[in-house]
Amino acid sequence: MRSFDVVILGGGAGAKMIWGSVPGGSVAVIESGLVGGHCPFFACVPSKAMLQTAATWRLAAHGQFTDLFTGGVSARQAYDQAVRRRDRLVHDRDDSAGAAALAETGATLVRGHGRIARPGVVTVDGEEIGYRDLVLNTGSTPTVPDDIPGLDDIAAWTSEHAMSTAEYPDSLVIVGGGPVGCEMAYLFAAFGCTVTLVQRASRLIPREEPEASQQMADTLEGLGVQVALSTTASEVQTQEGRTRVLLDTEYSVAADTLLFATGRTPATTDIGLDTLGVVPDERGFLPTDEHCRVTGTDNVWAIGDAAGPAPFTHTAHYQGRVVAANLAGRPVRTDYRALPRTVYTDPTFASVGHTEASARQAGTEPVIATAAVSDTVRATIDGTTQGWLKLIADPHTGTLLGATATGGRAEEWISELSQALRSEIPITDTTDVIHPFPTFSEELEGALWKLAPRF
Ligand SMILES: Cc1cc2nc3c(=O)[nH]c(=O)nc-3n(C[C@H](O)[C@H](O)[C@H](O)COP(=O)(O)OP(=O)(O)OC[C@H]3O[C@@H](n4cnc5c(N)ncnc54)[C@H](O)[C@@H]3O)c2cc1C
Ligand SMILES: NC(=O)c1ccc[n+]([C@@H]2O[C@H](COP(=O)([O-])OP(=O)(O)OC[C@H]3O[C@@H](n4cnc5c(N)ncnc54)[C@H](O)[C@@H]3O)[C@@H](O)[C@H]2O)c1
């Protein structure tokens, strides 16, 4: 039997933080799909690539830049170009570069579906492989409702299909208004598709600030998306080659394609957890302690979408680094206070830490300050004035509890706030940071200078 010091089950985002970081130890990565997981091939990279092409193409619609464009590219042609660019960037879903990077570190790639056979042993296609430490990194799969009559008769899309097909739906119904639903609605509407977005909750991206949900709805509606809130799909019918989606209101929508963006489920079934006595929580996440060690075990770790608490690639990277440190004998603990959240529509959305509501739920009446993208000179220069920043501070400690921002490349400079939050930097000190002129990051000064006199 081949045996390794560390076996990583699933070669997704966090695995690469570990596979080259076990000094003097042998590592095997078991992967049933593509090395790198969903992010580089079916999720983050292809979606951001298409959103970038959409944003570039839409510049032509902006009065200040229209004359710079030679014109003549239809929405459909722009979509086709976006697909070609996307497929180039994701290497046509070929993972040989990732596999080569893995091999260069001296780690061993085992292709196939892995399953824990008993403590210390996993099996892959009948072969037993021994481990000292096991890292569960099996990711997640799209959640599709199984209680909608008629669904079995149509080929509904998930984001994975949308991000790997060249098909162009003239009309699209998207069910689910979280980050995936909003990004998909933005990009297909930007390329001229008729999009209806059906969201069960009373607002889009419902865990975020209500102002952000409203801005998201305004952005999408501005592109022509029909946003149906507090609504769900109750039945699906096929009519003359089209799909008719009956809603639980009195309405129905006909479209070429139906796309589900109704969340993701941790891939924690069918991996033999029972042999270790490990039981996922009610949402399917693996229970872990603050070192990412699976609760009740000494030598089993869990990272990424399978572990929670927030399914982002940067969460998986972070947890991979935490596990690598622990495997190297440094007992590093996770701290999720400053975990950023993003949605890459235009304007983009970025947040970190508490919202106003969650701070109150946690028992703090927060101090709040806001600023607008349009306050910066960079906004005038770039001709983009949409967006704002909202800061939430702790009245007792004078430190940041959270921030939400839209527009103005907030996804880049939000990390400055993450640092302040994570390191509990007094707000009175943050006002001493000098931002380069003219940048969007100067918006931070506006809000922080409003907060500082309160402490
Ligand atoms: C459309 C979309 C856009 C997104 N955009 C962003 C973004 O912009 N930024 C961001 O931070 N996050 C984004 N995300 C979330 C991000 O994709 C995930 O959080 C990330 O991919 C999780 O990585 P992971 O390694 O945990 O899981 P995965 O990427 O799912 O990787 C798990 C791997 O394990 C393998 N595997 C599973 N079970 C087994 C088994 N038993 N044996 C062998 N192999 C197995 C799978 O084949 C897979 O390759 C997006 C998600 C979607 C759906
Ligand atoms: N930019 C990014 O970083 C990025 C982009 C996309 C996704 N992601 C990650 O992927 C994860 C999954 O995203 P998601 O948007 O699929 O999931 P989600 O759970 O965040 O949102 C799903 C939404 O669908 C709605 N919904 C669920 N069932 C429904 C139904 N039957 N009818 C109507 N609406 C329904 C819910 O109200 C919810 O708001 C996110 O949590 C996020 O972390 C990140």
Does the predicted interface ipTM exceed a cut of 0.90? yes
Residue 180 CA, ligand 2 centroid: distance in Å: 5
10 and 135 belong to one structural domain: yes
155 and 252 belong to one structural domain: yes
The C-alpha atoms of residue 178 and residue 214 are separated, in whole angstroms, by: 13
The 10s digit of each residue's pLDDT in 150-201 is 999 999 999 999 999 999 999 999 999 999 999 999 999 999 999 999 999 9
User: Which of 229, 262, 295 corresponds to the end of one domain?
Assistant: 262
Q: Is residue 75 part of a domain?
A: no
Predicted confidence (pLDDT) at residue 71 exceeds the cutoff of 80: no
Q: Is residue 367 part of a domain?
A: yes
107 and 168 belong to one structural domain: no
Mean pLDDT of the chain: 96
The C-alpha atoms of residue 31 and residue 54 are separated, in whole angstroms, by: 33
48 close to ligand 1 (CB < 6 Angstrom): yes
159 close to ligand 1 (CB < 6 Angstrom): yes
450 and 398 belong to one structural domain: yes
Q: Residues forming the annotated binding site? A: 48, 114, 138-140, 176-183, 263, 305
Q: Is residue 66 part of a domain?
A: no
> Does pTM top 0.90 for this prediction?
yes
Q: Work out whether strand 194-198 and strand 264-266 pair parallel, antiparallel, or are unpaired.
A: unpaired
The C-alpha atoms of residue 283 and residue 176 are separated, in whole angstroms, by: 18
Q: Residues forming the annotated binding site for NAD(+)? A: 176-183, 263, 305
Q: Is residue 52 part of a domain?
A: no
7 and 133 belong to one structural domain: yes
205 contacts 179 by C-beta, under 8 angstroms? yes
402 contacts 427 by C-beta, under 8 angstroms? no
User: Which of 231, 247, 262 corresponds to the end of one domain?
Assistant: 262
The confidence score (pLDDT) of residue 250 equals 87
Range 121-124 contact pairs with CB under 8 angstroms and sequence separation of 24 or more: 121/1, 122/7, 122/9, 122/30, 122/272, 124/30
The confidence score (pLDDT) of residue 24 equals 87
Q: Give the total number of structural domains in the chain.
A: 3
Domain limits for position 117: 2-39+91-139+267-328
User: Which of 328, 348, 379 corresponds to the end of one domain?
Assistant: 328
5 contacts 133 by C-beta, under 8 angstroms? yes
DSSP state of 296: T
153 and 238 belong to one structural domain: yes
Residue 292 CA, ligand 1 centroid: distance in Å: 17
DSSP for 223-270? TTPEEE-S--EEEEEEETTEEEEEESSS-EEEESEEEE---EEE--SS
For residue 305, give the ligand 1 atom closest to its CA.
26
The confidence score (pLDDT) of residue 279 equals 97
Residue 243 CA, ligand 1 centroid: distance in Å: 29
The 10s digit of each residue's pLDDT in 331-384 is 999 999 999 999 999 999 999 999 999 999 999 999 999 999 999 999 999 999
Which ligand has an atom closest to residue 179 CA?
2
Give the tokens for residue 295.
């609760």
Q: Which CATH number covers residue 388?
A: 3.30.390.30
- Name the band, by pLDDT with cuts 50, 70 and 90, for residue 62: confident
- Name the band, by pLDDT with cuts 50, 70 and 90, for residue 149: very high
253 and 290 belong to one structural domain: no
382 and 323 belong to one structural domain: no
User: What is the three-class DSSP state of 360?
Assistant: helix
The confidence score (pLDDT) of residue 113 equals 98
> Could you check whether the bond before residue 145 is cis, i.e. omega within 30 degrees of 0?
no
The 10s digit of each residue's pLDDT in 16-40 is 999 989 988 999 999 999 999 999 9
The confidence score (pLDDT) of residue 182 equals 98
32 close to ligand 1 (CB < 6 Angstrom): yes
Residue 176 CA, ligand 2 centroid: distance in Å: 6
The 10s digit of each residue's pLDDT in 236-259 is 999 888 999 999 998 999 999 999
Q: Is residue 51 part of a domain?
A: no
289 and 349 belong to one structural domain: no
The 10s digit of each residue's pLDDT in 205-220 is 999 999 999 999 999 9
Q: Is residue 432 part of a domain?
A: yes
Residue 260 CA, ligand 2 centroid: distance in Å: 9
Q: Which CATH number covers residue 132?
A: 3.50.50.60
DSSP for 62-124? STTTGGGS-----HHHHHHHHHHHHHHHTGGG--HHHHHHHHHTT-EEEES-EEEEETTEEEE
- Name the band, by pLDDT with cuts 50, 70 and 90, for residue 59: confident
Within 8 A by CB and 6+ apart from 379, the residues are: 373, 385, 408, 440
231 and 319 belong to one structural domain: no
266 close to ligand 2 (CB < 6 Angstrom): no
Q: Is residue 48 part of a domain?
A: no
Q: Is residue 49 part of a domain?
A: no
Residue keyed to tokens 């297909």: 188
For residue 314, give the ligand 1 atom closest to its CA.
11
Kindly report the number of other CB atoms within 10 A of residue 168's CB atom.
Answer: 17
Predicted confidence (pLDDT) at residue 320 exceeds the cutoff of 80: yes
Predicted confidence (pLDDT) at residue 72 exceeds the cutoff of 90: no
193 contacts 169 by C-beta, under 8 angstroms? yes
The confidence score (pLDDT) of residue 423 equals 97
Predicted confidence (pLDDT) at residue 70 exceeds the cutoff of 80: no
> Could you check whether the bond before residue 169 is cis, i.e. omega within 30 degrees of 0?
no
191 contacts 79 by C-beta, under 8 angstroms? yes
278 and 135 belong to one structural domain: yes
307 and 391 belong to one structural domain: no
